[in-house]
């Protein structure tokens, strides 16, 4: 429910991508937003007002002279109740009219009369998108403070291929959530690690752990929503990086160390969430080890570099946050780790509370004391941890 209590006007303009607006509306409501739909006359040729009324639970407005508003000023009254106006799809014609400040239908008039942010998701044929007039209009909108979402490239309804596809509803929702989130880390550069590492024994076997990467990825998303520029150095996981996050994929602890050190000097905050293998194999076999009568092969281990401690020791380095997963004596071990690595904040959890799962509980340890976070989805814990990091770094 990341949009609970938020009010969004969803503007739909004429184009085949209007069918995606129905799914977008469902996702907005699922995330807790109150949605009022306004359509251009052209949009009603692709999807009916009845569809959007059923999905929103509210009457749909499309006529500038709609008599349902007692004062006849739907363009004023509706926009004053909104946290933002989202136009999806935004046709080439509509972008041109908004760029010129026209007010020739309800939706355009509402945009011109708004006192809330405007986001637009363009959708059109590739030649229309590349046309100098459209490029000029989009540049003007961006200069006027309008947030332009996309478009994407791919196969189009006309059968051609290129830029001009409207972003998928899930991508637009993610940008809406990010746009409305408090910018607690605005302008900060956050470097993070997440997931497990894999230390090869031979070409098919290796040493790893059960980390899913979910906590790290949730934290990268939360930091990005908070306005940070996020670089995520990730071990092998089974899902894609959060939208808007720069992801560097690695496998081994040595690769993760190298990637982190390449970015650490420029970071304001470093968060070591990854479950990095403490040891790697010194004598990695070039070929798959086979069972034979000679017995069990001997595997020699050497210690991997301590990434968190190395970053924490940098002169004028970033504010460092560590993670500790323990099976017992949580406070004792977490506090010892924080002191040993000389970091200002560590987030700790018991393995049995959330390793690899969707939920977890965390306890935060810093110089001010102990701060327990109750059992919750990792996305919620990530937002709470970002708030605490913002509080601590704001005091520096």
Q: Which residues are catalytic?
A: 158
Alpha carbon of 183 to those of 75, 150, 356, 390: distances in Å? 29, 22, 29, 10
**Euclidean distance between CA atoms 217 and 240, whole angstroms:** 9
| Cα 248 to chain centroid, rounded | 15
The three-point CA angle 134-135-138 to 5° equals: 85
**Euclidean distance between CA atoms 381 and 383, whole angstroms:** 5
The H or E element spanning position 51 is helix 49-56
The H or E element spanning position 320 is strand 319-326
Specify burial of residue 94 (Cβ count, 10 A radius: 0-12, 13-18, 19+). Answer: buried
**Euclidean distance between CA atoms 12 and 211, whole angstroms:** 42
The H or E element spanning position 107 is helix 106-113
**Euclidean distance between CA atoms 78 and 38, whole angstroms:** 9
What 3-state class would DSSP assign to 375?
Answer: strand
What is the DSSP secondary structure assignment for residue 43, as one 8-state letter?
G
- Bridge partners of 207, per DSSP, are 199
């Amino acid at each position: 429910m990341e949009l609970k209590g938020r009010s969004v006007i969803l503007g739909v303009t004429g184009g085949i991508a209007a069918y995606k607006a129905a799914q977008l509306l469902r996702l907005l409501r699922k995330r807790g937003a109150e949605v009022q739909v306004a359509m251009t006359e052209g949009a009603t040729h692709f999807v009916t007002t009845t569809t959007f009324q059923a999905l929103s639970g509210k009457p749909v407005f499309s006529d500038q002279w709609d008599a349902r508003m007692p004062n006849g000023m739907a363009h004023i009254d509706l926009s004053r109740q909104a946290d933002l106006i989202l136009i999806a799809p935004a046709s080439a014609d509509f972008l041109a009219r908004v760029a010129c400040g026209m007010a020739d239908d309800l939706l355009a008039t509402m945009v011109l009369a708004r006192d809330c942010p405007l986001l637009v998701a363009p959708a059109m044929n590739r030649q229309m998108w590349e046309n100098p007039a459209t490029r000029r209009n989009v540049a003007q909108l961006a200069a006027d403070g309008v947030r332009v979402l996309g478009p994407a490239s791919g196969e189009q309804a006309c059968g051609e291929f290129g830029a001009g596809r409207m972003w998928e509803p899930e991508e637009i929702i993610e940008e809406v959530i990010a746009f409305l989130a408090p910018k607690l880390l605005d302008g900060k550069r956050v470097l993070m690690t997440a997931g497990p590492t894999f230390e090869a024994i031979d070409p098919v076997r290796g040493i790893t752990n059960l980390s899913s990467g979910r906590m790290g990825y949730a934290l990268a998303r939360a930091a990005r929503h908070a306005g940070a520029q996020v670089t995520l150095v990730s071990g092998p996981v089974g899902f894609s990086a959060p939208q808007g996050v720069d992801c560097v994929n690695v496998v081994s602890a040595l690769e993760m160390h190298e990637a982190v050190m390449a970015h650490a000097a420029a970071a304001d905050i470093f968060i070591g969430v990854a479950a990095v293998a403490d040891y790697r194999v010194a004598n990695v076999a070039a070929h798959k080890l086979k069972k034979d009568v000679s017995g069990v092969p001997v595997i020699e281990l050497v210690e991997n570099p301590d990434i968190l401690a190395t970053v924490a020791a940098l002169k004028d380095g970033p504010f460092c946050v560590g993670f500790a997963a323990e099976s017992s004596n949580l406070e004792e071990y977490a506090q010892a780790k924080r002191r040993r690595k000389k970091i200002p904040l560590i987030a700790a959890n018991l393995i049995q509370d959330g390793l690899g799962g969707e939920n977890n509980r965390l306890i935060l340890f810093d110089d001010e004391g102990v701060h327990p976070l109750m059992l919750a989805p990792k996305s919620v814990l990530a937002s709470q941890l970002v708030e605490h990091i913002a509080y601590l770094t704001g005091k520096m």
